[in-house]
């Protein structure tokens, strides 16, 4: 594996290429950090808050790596990023979370102290990305891999105000993103083309739409621990992208929670448990997370469904409402 590619090697990549976008985001990150370092945080606090909010968009950078880049590297046998670099992402997330807490408490002195640690952590990770992760990825992945990866990145997004150039470049007339595919299909009177379910028949489109508009995140992992499905939706609690399909589920969770996930799967497979339940505070919301063991009529284990839902509104309901309140 190559240990280093010069900046010129990345700049020669076409605009919109995922590797070039990662490099461009790193330039943006370093520029934001430079702006913060060039001001007196305590005396220019409002300006600092603007810059820090921009820096917090680094979450999109890390989420794309975890959900897009890492799965492709795994298919070529390189699992180290999933197992190790993800832990560095979480360390930086923890540091950002701590600074956000101090900002909420208006503790300018300690905020200023912790910024140095955060910047060092980010700089270290950028060095690993640019000198090892991305050069190796460019050597390992083929053009089709990068094209597929780019197609799935829109669901997570980027740090920029506007989306990067499409890759490969296509005209708007030639491309319809899956999330924007609202083509209406004429329903036949026969059952042709419909999926037969236990109770009823649905077109594939109807099934997809139903799952898309459900106010819950659903992920289906089969009996071999491979991710088969997740439902698309504009208001997902946790980000997902097409890169996780066909991925081993243990690589879809932060290293610190993998042991817990594996224990759930082991207990489900053994038939000891059927449900695992959690609830957390996440980005100001109350999130309910459940895992359900799936079994066929002979009680054979067929996988697990993970369901996550923002229940903040539900928890706040009181009394009764039996009439519409639209007027």
Reading the chain (327 residues) residue by residue, the pLDDT tens digits are 444 444 556 678 899 999 999 999 999 999 999 999 999 998 999 999 999 999 999 999 999 999 999 999 999 999 999 989 999 999 999 999 999 999 999 999 999 999 999 999 999 999 999 999 999 999 999 999 999 999 889 889 999 999 999 888 765 555 555 555 444 333 333 678 888 888 788 889 999 999 989 999 999 999 999 999 998 877 788 878 888 899 999 888 888 888 999 999 999 999 999 999 999 998 889 999 999 999 999 999 999 999 999 999 999 999 988 888 887
Q: Are strands 194-197 and 275-282 parallel, antiparallel or unpaired?
A: unpaired
Number of neighbours of residue 56 by Cβ within 10 angstroms = 16
Domains detected in the chain: 7-153 (1.20.120.520), 202-315 (3.30.450.20)
Beta bridge partners of 294: 303
Answer whether 0.75 is exceeded by the pTM: no
Give φ, ψ of 155 to 5 degrees.
-65, -30
Q: Are strands 227-230 and 285-295 parallel, antiparallel or unpaired?
A: unpaired
CA 205 vs. chain centroid, Å, equals 24
Residues with Cβ within 8 Å of residue 167, at least 6 apart in sequence = 14, 15, 16, 17, 18, 146, 147, 150
Residue 120: both structure tokens together: 């060092």
The predicted-structure confidence for 91-149, as pLDDT tens digits, reads as follows: 999 999 999 999 999 999 999 999 999 999 999 999 999 999 999 999 999 999 999 99
Residue 322: both structure tokens together: 């039996």
């Amino acid at each position: 594996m190559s240990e280093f590619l010069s900046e010129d090697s990345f700049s020669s990549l076409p605009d919109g290429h995922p590797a070039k976008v990662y490099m461009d985001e790193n330039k943006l990150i370093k520029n934001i950090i430079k702006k913060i370092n060039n001001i007196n945080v305590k005396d220019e606090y409002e300006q600092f808050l603007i810059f820090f909010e921009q820096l917090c968009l680094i979450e999109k950078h890390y989420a794309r790596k975890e959900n897009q880049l890492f799965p492709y590297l795994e298919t070529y046998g390189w699992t180290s990023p999933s197992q190790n670099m993800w832990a560095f992402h979480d360390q930086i997330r923890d540091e950002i979370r701590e600074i956000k807490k101090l900002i909420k408490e208006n503790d300018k002195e300690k905020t200023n102290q912790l910024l140095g640690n955060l910047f060092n952590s980010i700089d270290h990770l950028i060095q690993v990305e640019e000198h090892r992760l991305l050069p190796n990825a460019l050597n390992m992945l083929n053009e089709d891999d990068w094209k597929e990866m780019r197609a799935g990145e829109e669901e997570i997004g980027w740090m920029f105000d506007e989306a990067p150039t499409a890759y490969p470049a296509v005209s708007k007339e030639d491309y319809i993103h899956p999330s924007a595919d609202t083509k209406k299909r004429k329903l036949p009177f026969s059952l042709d083309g419909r999926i037969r379910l236990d109770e009823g028949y649905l077109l594939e489109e109807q099934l997809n739409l139903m799952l898309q508009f459900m106010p819950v995140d659903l992920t289906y992992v089969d009996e071999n621990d491979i991710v088969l499905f997740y439902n698309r939706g504009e208001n997902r609690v946790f980000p997902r992208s097409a890169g996780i399909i066909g991925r081993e589920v243990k690589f879809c969770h932060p290293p610190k929670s993998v042991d817990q996930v594996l224990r759930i799967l082991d207990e489900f497979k053994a038939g000891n448990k059927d449900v695992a339940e959690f609830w957390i505070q996440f980005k100001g919301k109350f999130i309910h997370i459940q895992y359900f063991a799936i079994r066929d009529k002979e009680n054979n284990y067929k996988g697990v469904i993970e369901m996550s839902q923002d229940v903040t509104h539900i928890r706040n309901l009181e009394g009764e409402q039996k009439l519409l309140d639209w007027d």
